[in-house]
Structure 1
């Protein structure tokens, strides 16, 4: 398949963790990451578009308000850093909120980011169009909505292409644009301050300490509005996290780059806002920053005034215009990057259509994510400008609401995600708890106050809407909340698949593990925390004949409904085959046939080169006998078993005979026997339990350490294992089944060797009757003697003269077993009136609750179970 100019598109991303989605790894270093973070904020453009608004609402305290917005940004940056350190996923807020609060909240976090970025790109494209004409002296065209829209569309197409052809090209462009932008900002700030103290204009005022006193602000409402506008000018540093999977040392470099970006922005904004205010003043006319005519662009008028009208001044003025243009372009480009990667990650996690998870085979960039989001931005630009320029203006202000929502959610996600680790150290408490929590709280307060107090005022902004039951409401609130509510309406549709798959998976797994004489058991199942995560892991504890028990864990490849349904089929198949008392190797062989048959029947939809669904299943099946203390087991795939010897605390990972995954084909499965002393702890688990460890060996070492220190109940032990090995992110399903073995007390069973002589039947009947009397089960003596007599007689008649063994087991039922060397299974049938035989087994079936046959290495065992009255059990 070929897409977009003949370039062959890769298939869906191969995994959901860092480095496994197919993006280009190690493409960015620290400098490039810092450049991405700074450029995405568009310092020059942000100041040009926001400083006038802040001054109009705050007055002389604009510099400190600009700097105060740094505080929640820094707090939230620490939340991003800590979340990224534990799970470097390019989906950022979407992925982390999903892991912390579930797929619905995660979807809203991703939607908030999408809304903010698309609306911001529309505004950036329009600004780029205006400044493109101003740069070449075509100011009239810069005032024409049609031509600025056309120029904006062209710039969006160009920038989308740059982002599409590779992250390294994008980084190189950003480095050059950022260097030009920062250089011009420094030149402007220094020149303005020099003019203030050497040849000041009439508007100039000297810098005062009161400018940096927030208590001088006239009201809390004004302060809140100013800080919210300040949040907008800092927004964008999180691009360093959106490209984390393409960054060297993806768990640490993005965090450093983000914190450095925020600090550098603080210095830049503090310097430029102070120098601009000192030079232009806060007047409402001329070049004054309070002039409403300059509120959307304070640099256009300041350039000529600061640099003068000589040739050098004109050149610097043009460079200042170029600076705002390049700032807008750089910010637009670095807005496409996180937008495309967020949508890409959401597609990988099945939160949006899967086609957005495709990457370009050569460029290693998101194909549909990049081009699709560029096209969506162009469409929104055309749509909004075709309605009203006022709507465009209010949509820009509404971006602040989406930003506050996204950042606040990330802060709370960090706090909740790491809640179990906050007491480990003071550093964890501060950087994973206090800072993110405060950042999220500040963002929440800003969001609520701005939405319902500031922006809801119909006189705020340029538009208002008369809402039913509410009345006139500011257009900024309507647009901001309306955009988020659209995501809320879409959420049930896009998260339904995950919810259905999770519900199906939960219903197919055991609701509770049965109590059993052979083992005490406990389990944990952790579905992956992303939208695609519900997969095919399963576990089971299966009661078998003779008080034996079957223990099984398995893992079906893939995610979603198909994997969950396949898991249900296989779990049912294992239970059916286990009840046939098959040996572990034979059970896996039969299960392998079932997997292959099901895969062929359901594989018509698989594309060329794609594996059929259900193939490659891993499974570990063990049968423990509490009479002998032996455990026989076999494995398919890479399943691992750990055993803890009681009292000594020695952890062992027995070397099991290798077996191919189910449905793949290969050498036959093999069983092996383990001697397990009473009280041994065995742990069966899927590979997902070790997913956060640096390697499989490191994960096993962590697991062994927890198991070796076991002095608790099995439920508490499972909690300790999960808390240690999976403290946060669960990228794939994880299953753990632990069991502590027991041996039956000697007074719970009795066994006899029987000579193959019909005369011995009377002897065994007497011995059985006496044993039942000792157990206080005299009411079962007649039926049990009849059962033993019939089974022993059949063994003597048909088994060929080999040794015969009789065993009684008193458990929750009374179990009678007769073993011989024959290999012929008796068949239950209705005897005709003239038949001379065939009635004995029919009578036995009527007198027992269950009966069956299992094969042994030396022959077979026929067993029966009779129900006991309450109080007659052990």
Structure 2
């Protein structure tokens, strides 16, 4: 068998864990200013205006400024969704993580794929711009039309920015601050100069600013309004990078969300200023420097630079600075596009949604290694491919990326609403910021996506490329590229999430589908699987009927995730049920279960050879389990635990939640100290909560905080168990967490004195007749005369055996529960064995007859001896005692 290679010491380490802030990224590296700089720079303000302002003006004319403002609205709404979700879970996977927690692993995977698609597509556009403006800045205008040379230059720029992102987040942030400062300064200088000349020099095509420019009712048509907003959405995209670097930001739950909103507002101010000033200076004419000139639609700033700054004095230098500004804008955006893309893939790998090699970190720089380099190479590959097949790289890539943007932004808005659905009515602020605003943003993005994909971009005449599709016909290349990339993600998603789906199906199939109601306890349960493929583990629970109307309660947790953990959980649950039917004490049951877990680990080690199981895959070791037995006759409860499992008890008189001090036992499979059983009395109506760590550590790493929240929930113990379960899950697991969560709630009951009859007999043969007589009398009181003959036979056989083979007093107990239970206890420690009696045997037939009569029978051992018990089914229509 081929053994997997162990990572060498020099290999980059994997992420420490999938949780927010636990992946090993360099925390605290960024402050608010750096986060805002990254968020604003990611949108490439100068380039975005240069590439889209002409398209907006061509569609809506003088209403371009109001279109810029209207496009800001859905972005602000989605920014609020990012802010609220980040405050709850500051994970660098952003949409991937949040959508996974809200809607499941498949939807979450598609959210992450939407980010990857948008970033890879826009990288081609940014690389093309960087190459063209680089040659233009150096004076090699002839090379800007050469496809080969612009492609080579674009590849070089992607490589350089990938290297900077690889070196470290602090260097990236410092570079962004300087590039952004230069970019904004030149843009503001351009806007102010243009406005001053409009009102002082009165250029030929200039028009004065008018209030009508900000009136959406003056837009020619609804179609023009929608198309304009769709184009303007692109210029705002990218601010979410400020949230993607949250795990590397100081105060990661607050600063990234603030930075996102500040970035969007700053972009609004900058865009409205530049758009208004450029339109006032150049007008919207279709000739010359007019913004409506289609020849300049892909780059309106280059032509405006010479006209605004003039040809005298510093004019030529400032015009060159404007070109340099567009170049640096594209370069800065290339870098900040690599950052979120790499961290999204890094988070997906940490959650096992993509191969784990993408979760590797650089030992020194603490930056993602595989994800950064591989996505840089993927961007280069896509750029070269797009250059080869498309006649206009800029137009097709800009417009197709809008579909991916609308997809994952809209998904984030809907995820916010669903994620916080249980707390939306808690306060007006929660309803507004967690529900209404993100929901409206999601609806707007959904409308823009559908309108663009199936109406505007699907037109064969739209864009520079069209493709003849089977069964559909000729379709616009923008729709084919945008939807095709997302559909490719669906195929990949089905492949990479198949293990999660199988593990979850296996997990659920082995958990109790429905808890059968027992006389001893009232029960309710909840199982919340973890958020991603990494999370479906082996948390489990069970309720096991035991002899004497008792009930066994168990919760457990398996180390590890995926199919192996689920399979291990299935073996343990089966083992517990088998051992519980032997009526073992909790400590003895855990000891036997420990042997089972250790044996499983040894078998697995033998399969993997001398090296043992692969790291992170041995789910048979370090298992935790808590087993409790409750007796409704005596009200006695006994518990033992393996590992750090806890239980909560709420007594009906005080309503105070306590956590019984159970002796700590080692996790299963590790050996060590023996397990100990703790016994205590539970009054009728006591509430017992058994749970796994995932329940009390989902909202906070501090166990005491989680236990306190659970106690606050259980204080209203009089409520129904189903309602208490819902409240506990909503409070402790507001959204699916990184670990499975199990909660089992039981409310104890006690059998009344009229349901139990107990007699003590001396070990004399004459007592057999007395036992039969008392039994017949009790069955008559209960109205169970139909069972008189069989019960008399059972009691006679069991008491006779006790007198013959044991010494000391004999106890006979009848229990009328869901069945009729007959128990005979003595001081002996030998158990009778069922066998076929031979023709010449004088004994052995009685127990065989009892076994044929009984529904179930067995033996349980006590500190003073043993008890033989026999269960019989009650008649279909017995006389019902009023107390029942």
**TM-score of the two chains, using structure 1 as the length reference:** 0.96
Return the match for 1:8 from 8, 11, 25: 11
Shift of 1:68: 1.6
Please list, as runs of the form range in 1=range in 2, the aligned pairs for 1:695-710 lying within 5 A after superposition.
695-710=702-717
Cα distance 1:677–1:613, how it changes in 2: closer, same or farther (>3 A)? same
Q: What is residue 20 of structure 2 aligned with on the other side?
A: 18
Please list, as runs of the form range in 1=range in 2, the aligned pairs for 1:241-390 lying within 5 A after superposition.
241-310=243-312, 312-390=314-392
Return the match for 2:137 from 120, 132, 135: 135
Q: What is residue 745 of structure 2 aligned with on the other side?
A: 738
Whether contact under 8 Å (2:559, 2:620) holds in the other structure is yes
Return the match for 2:593 from 591, 594, 603: 591
Whether contact under 8 Å (1:46, 1:233) holds in the other structure is yes
Q: What is residue 424 of structure 2 aligned with on the other side?
A: 422
Q: What is residue 580 of structure 1 aligned with on the other side?
A: 582
Please list, as runs of the form range in 1=range in 2, the aligned pairs for 1:58-97 lying within 5 A after superposition.
58-97=60-99
Shift of 1:496: 2.2
Q: What is residue 634 of structure 1 aligned with on the other side?
A: 640
Q: Deviations over 1:71-104 (max 9, x none)?
A: 1110111111111112222111122222222222
Q: What is residue 618 of structure 1 aligned with on the other side?
A: 624
Q: Deviations over 1:210-234 (max 9, x none)?
A: 2222222212222111111110000
Task: Compare 582-591 and 431-440 and name the one that shifted more.
Answer: 431-440
CA distance in 2, matches of 1:871, 1:816: 20
Task: Compare 704-713 and 332-341 and name the one that shifted more.
Answer: 704-713
CA distance in 2, matches of 1:849, 1:470: 67
Q: Deviations over 1:350-375 (max 9, x none)?
A: 32222222222332222221111111
Cα distance 1:24–1:460, how it changes in 2: closer, same or farther (>3 A)? same
CA distance in 2, matches of 1:345, 1:15: 10
Shift of 1:687: 1.1
Shift of 1:198: 2.7
Query: Matched residue of 2:13: which SS?
Result: strand
Counterpart check, 1:851 vs 2:865 = no
Shift of 1:736: 0.6
Q: What is residue 817 of structure 1 aligned with on the other side?
A: 823
Whether contact under 8 Å (1:414, 1:436) holds in the other structure is yes
CA distance in 1, matches of 2:496, 2:871: 51
CA distance in 2, matches of 1:452, 1:778: 77
Whether contact under 8 Å (1:2, 1:9) holds in the other structure is no
CA distance in 2, matches of 1:587, 1:446: 61
Task: Compare 105-114 and 733-742 and name the one that shifted more.
Answer: 105-114
Q: What is residue 756 of structure 1 aligned with on the other side?
A: 763
**TM-score of the two chains, using structure 2 as the length reference:** 0.95
Return the match for 1:832 from 828, 831, 838: 838
Query: Matched residue of 1:284: which SS?
Result: coil
Return the match for 2:773 from 766, 771, 791: 766
CA distance in 1, matches of 2:383, 2:8: 25
Task: Compare 732-741 and 195-204 and name the one that shifted more.
Answer: 195-204
Task: Compare 239-248 and 445-454 and name the one that shifted more.
Answer: 445-454
Shift of 1:392: 5.3
Whether contact under 8 Å (1:819, 1:859) holds in the other structure is yes
Shift of 1:391: 5.3
Return the match for 1:784 from 783, 791, 797: 791
Q: Deviations over 1:757-805 (max 9, x none)?
A: 2332222222222222222223323332332222223222322x23321
Counterpart check, 1:660 vs 2:666 = yes
Q: What is residue 540 of structure 1 aligned with on the other side?
A: 542
CA distance in 2, matches of 1:416, 1:776: 55
Q: What is residue 49 of structure 1 aligned with on the other side?
A: 51
Query: Matched residue of 1:15: which SS?
Result: coil
Return the match for 2:200 from 198, 201, 205: 198
Query: Matched residue of 1:389: which SS?
Result: coil
Query: Matched residue of 1:510: which SS?
Result: coil
CA distance in 2, matches of 1:382, 1:181: 28
Which runs of no fewer than 5 residues in structure 2 stay unpaired?
none
Shift of 1:738: 0.6
CA distance in 2, matches of 1:538, 1:632: 20
Task: Compare 257-266 and 469-478 and name the one that shifted more.
Answer: 469-478
Runs of 4+ in 1 over 6 A off after TM superposition: 1-6
Shift of 1:6: 9.9
Please list, as runs of the form range in 1=range in 2, the aligned pairs for 1:199-218 lying within 5 A after superposition.
199-218=201-220
Shift of 1:405: 1.4
Please list, as runs of the form range in 1=range in 2, the aligned pairs for 1:512-551 lying within 5 A after superposition.
512-551=514-553
Counterpart check, 1:33 vs 2:35 = yes
CA distance in 2, matches of 1:495, 1:609: 21
Whether contact under 8 Å (1:600, 1:612) holds in the other structure is no
Task: Compare 49-58 and 198-207 and name the one that shifted more.
Answer: 198-207
CA distance in 2, matches of 1:249, 1:205: 47
Q: What is residue 408 of structure 1 aligned with on the other side?
A: 410
Return the match for 2:513 from 503, 511, 514: 511
Return the match for 1:219 from 218, 221, 241: 221
Query: Matched residue of 1:146: which SS?
Result: helix
Query: Matched residue of 2:11: which SS?
Result: strand
Q: What is residue 808 of structure 2 aligned with on the other side?
A: 802
Shift of 1:349: 2.5
Whether contact under 8 Å (1:99, 1:529) holds in the other structure is yes
Q: Deviations over 1:398-440 (max 9, x none)?
A: 1111111111121122122222222111111111111111111
Shift of 1:191: 1.9
Shift of 1:726: 1.9
Task: Compare 249-258 and 449-458 and name the one that shifted more.
Answer: 449-458
Q: What is residue 681 of structure 1 aligned with on the other side?
A: 687
Task: Compare 653-662 and 751-760 and name the one that shifted more.
Answer: 751-760
Shift of 1:607: 5.5
CA distance in 2, matches of 1:274, 1:774: 96
CA distance in 2, matches of 1:4, 1:199: 70
Shift of 1:330: 0.9
Q: How many aligned residue pairs are there? A: 872
Counterpart check, 1:562 vs 2:564 = yes
CA distance in 2, matches of 1:474, 1:389: 13
Query: Matched residue of 2:308: which SS?
Result: helix
Task: Compare 557-566 and 764-773 and name the one that shifted more.
Answer: 764-773
Q: Deviations over 1:480-516 (max 9, x none)?
A: 2222222233332233222222211111100111111
CA distance in 1, matches of 2:663, 2:766: 46
Q: CA RMSD in A?
A: 2.0
Shift of 1:2: 11
Shift of 1:248: 1.4
CA distance in 1, matches of 2:842, 2:167: 87
CA distance in 1, matches of 2:121, 2:200: 43
Which runs of no fewer than 5 residues in structure 1 stay unpaired?
none
Cα distance 1:610–1:564, how it changes in 2: closer, same or farther (>3 A)? closer
Query: Matched residue of 1:864: which SS?
Result: strand
Cα distance 1:802–1:529, how it changes in 2: closer, same or farther (>3 A)? same
Whether contact under 8 Å (2:51, 2:298) holds in the other structure is yes
Shift of 1:712: 2.0
CA distance in 1, matches of 2:476, 2:792: 90
Query: Matched residue of 2:314: which SS?
Result: helix
Whether contact under 8 Å (2:529, 2:736) holds in the other structure is no
CA distance in 1, matches of 2:815, 2:676: 29
Cα distance 1:175–1:616, how it changes in 2: closer, same or farther (>3 A)? same
